[in-house]
Amino acid sequence: MTSANEIAIAACDHERPLWRPDQLAETGLIRPDQIAALERVAARYAVAVTPAMAELIDHADPHDPIARQFIPDVAELETRPEESADPIGDRPHSPVEGVVHRYPDRVLLKIVQVCAVYCRFCFRRETVGHGKGALAGEALDAALSYIRRHREIWEVILTGGDPLMVSARRLREIVGSLAAIEHVKIIRLHTRLPVADPARISAGLVAAMQARGKAVYVVLHANHPRELTAAARAACARVVDAGIPMLGQSVLLRGVNDDPLVLGQLMRALVECRIKPYYLHHGDLAPGTAHLRTSIAHGRDLMRHLRGRYSGLCQPSYVLDIPGGFGKSPIGPEYLSPTATDGIYRIEDFNGDFHHYPQCDEAAPASGT
């Protein structure tokens, strides 16, 4: 029987990612004089850059947006007082290993703790990395038993780590176990793999995601339009053509996508791939990530720019995951406000012009009903 760690390690080895600062230096992604400092970062937080991502990095650009996402930075060693090792409160809402039950009708099932690439802003950066393994054996049985017992669970979200890092056989077994639970109607998989390692999205892996009688969704994490290469688009097409709808989630990141043109191009690229933008996450308060976070005010300005200038299909929900495990709340800009005149709203259009709209009361029931 394959051990949990073997499952994870085999998946990581597929693309032979660059894991160490000296490897990053050998390929020109960092300078040799940076190795010692970045080894301190790598000792604390996992590093992995797949060839697919490395090829996208412009070595001549010191501010390359792909490099900012994956190449370690000494700024990660600076932890601010407001930052937390568990910024969105997974631990208080984890009744059994591998399960996070934060919302009434859905749970996270963290089936693996490794990724093809490690984002420098990851909110689970304290718990993911090489050798962390996968949920297996008695732990997986206990997690599935919890889901079976709680009939209010309508949706199960496979996450980690990246759930597509397990083998197709393993994924098929887990999806099959969830599909056999009558009250689970929706299975969702959150992944970066179609952009990080497109070749891994094989016909066999896509088939393993499917569940007879259940609705399956795949949510792609992409933050910059350059990530959606021809190979990545083909990988996404293999998923969508198999009848699995795709949604997109992105993290708002300073120096990566905090520009209105870049953010708009990203949303359009997703829609062109038949991926509906779902969430734009405000950066979580994970340790050592302040250099990548923007202000909420800037995020709202960016959302205002998208509104009206880009198709409604390109509009994600701008959300903040409340620290402590209290869930996501929308924080997008407001367009409607009351006026000093009773019965009148003020509504702003996408050009910044204001108009009046009546506050219509609910109609009284017709007489005789």
Report the pLDDT value the prediction gives residue 50, as an integer from 0 to 100: 96
Active site residues: 102-103, 106, 115, 119, 122, 124, 284, 321, 328
The answer to whether 228 and 190 have CB atoms below 8 angstroms apart is: no
The ranges assigned to domains in the chain are: 4-330, 335-369
316: which 2 tokens?
């994600």
Report the pLDDT value the prediction gives residue 2, as an integer from 0 to 100: 37
How far is C-alpha 182 from the geometric centre of its chain's CA atoms? 27
3-state secondary structure (DSSP) of residue 160: coil
The answer to whether 356 and 340 have CB atoms below 8 angstroms apart is: no
Which residues of the chain carry a pLDDT beneath 70? 1-15, 361-369
Under 8 Å CB-to-CB from 142, ≥6 apart: which residues? 96, 97, 98
Residue type for 186, please? I
Q: Where are the beta strands (DSSP E) in the chain?
A: 99-103, 106-110, 155-159, 186-191, 215-221, 246-251, 275-281, 317-321, 328-330, 336-338, 344-348, 354-358
Under 8 Å CB-to-CB from 105, ≥6 apart: which residues? 152, 153, 154, 155
Residue 8: how many other CB atoms lie within 10 Å = 25
The CA–CA distances, whole Å, from 326 to 4, 11, 82, 87, 297 equal: 31, 33, 16, 11, 22
The Cα–Cα gap between 27 and 133 comes to 28
Report the pLDDT value the prediction gives residue 4, as an integer from 0 to 100: 39
Report the pLDDT value the prediction gives residue 339, as an integer from 0 to 100: 87
Residue with tokens 């009434």: 104
Closest C-alpha to 85, from 324, 322, 277, 343: 324
Report the pLDDT value the prediction gives residue 363, as an integer from 0 to 100: 57
167: which 2 tokens?
């083998």
Under 8 Å CB-to-CB from 261, ≥6 apart: which residues? none
272: which 2 tokens?
């062109």
Report the pLDDT value the prediction gives residue 12, as an integer from 0 to 100: 44
Report the pLDDT value the prediction gives residue 5, as an integer from 0 to 100: 39
Report the pLDDT value the prediction gives residue 10, as an integer from 0 to 100: 41
Closest C-alpha to 41, from 80, 67, 71, 62: 71
Closest C-alpha to 316, from 280, 346, 349, 347: 280
DSSP-assigned letters across all residues of 37-71: HHHHHHHHS---B-HHHHTT--TT-TT-HHHHHHS
Residues 154-186: tens digit of each pLDDT: 999 999 999 999 999 999 999 999 999 999 999
Report the pLDDT value the prediction gives residue 163, as an integer from 0 to 100: 97
Peptide bond into 161 cis (omega under 30): yes
Mean pLDDT score of the chain, rounded to an integer? 93
Report the pLDDT value the prediction gives residue 11, as an integer from 0 to 100: 44
Report the pLDDT value the prediction gives residue 362, as an integer from 0 to 100: 61
* CATH for 4-330 (2.40.110.20, 3.20.20.70, 3.90.650.10, 3.90.1330.10): 3.20.20.70
